[in-house]
Amino acid sequence: MSITTTTHLNFRGDAREALEFYRSVFGGDIALVTYADAGIGAGDGADQIMWGQVQAGNGFHVMAYDVPGHLSYHPGDKPVFVSVRGTGEDEISAFWKGLSEGATVVQDLGPSGWAPLYGMLTDRFGVTWVLDVAVDHQAG
């Protein structure tokens, strides 16, 4: 089993544009999943990015999403998550258990519409972590 850590940037409606920009600068492939693609919500935010990434052969890798309207967001406030993506549920569950001591759980660790296991928490030091089991999304 292996894990990777990746910078996960947070936006309000600009994630697609930002990822396209980063791809133009660093090269690589872009993958985008909208809230509608994931079966989450409809209406105004359905075409916003629920998960996206740019990954290049030169080692550049960044992820991003559009913070949903029901959550607070101000540029500079919670601009980055640390994403820990693994290949096994036991591995991710163990990391979750360790990080959750004294943490505030934002989203319980469990199955989601886009990953077999996903969770989000803010640790006792104020760092927000997103943990999930990797799924191969088609690059676009």
pLDDT digits (tens, 9 = 90+) for 63-120: 999 998 888 888 777 678 888 888 889 989 999 999 999 999 999 999 988 889 999 9
State the DSSP code for 66: E
Mention the CATH class of domain 3-133: alpha beta
> How many C-beta atoms surround the C-beta of residue 135 within 10 A?
13
> For 129-137, what is the mean pLDDT?
83
Give the Å distances, CA to CA, from 43 to 46, 59, 69, 111, 119.
6, 36, 12, 24, 25
Burial zone of 121 (CB within 10 Å; 0-12 exposed, 13-18 middle, 19+ buried): buried
The Cα 38–Cα 93 span in angstroms is 23
Tell me the average pLDDT of the chain: 87
Q: Write the CB contacts of 98 (distance below 8 Å, at least 6 apart in sequence).
A: none
Q: Please give the model's pTM, rounded to 2 decimal places.
A: 0.68
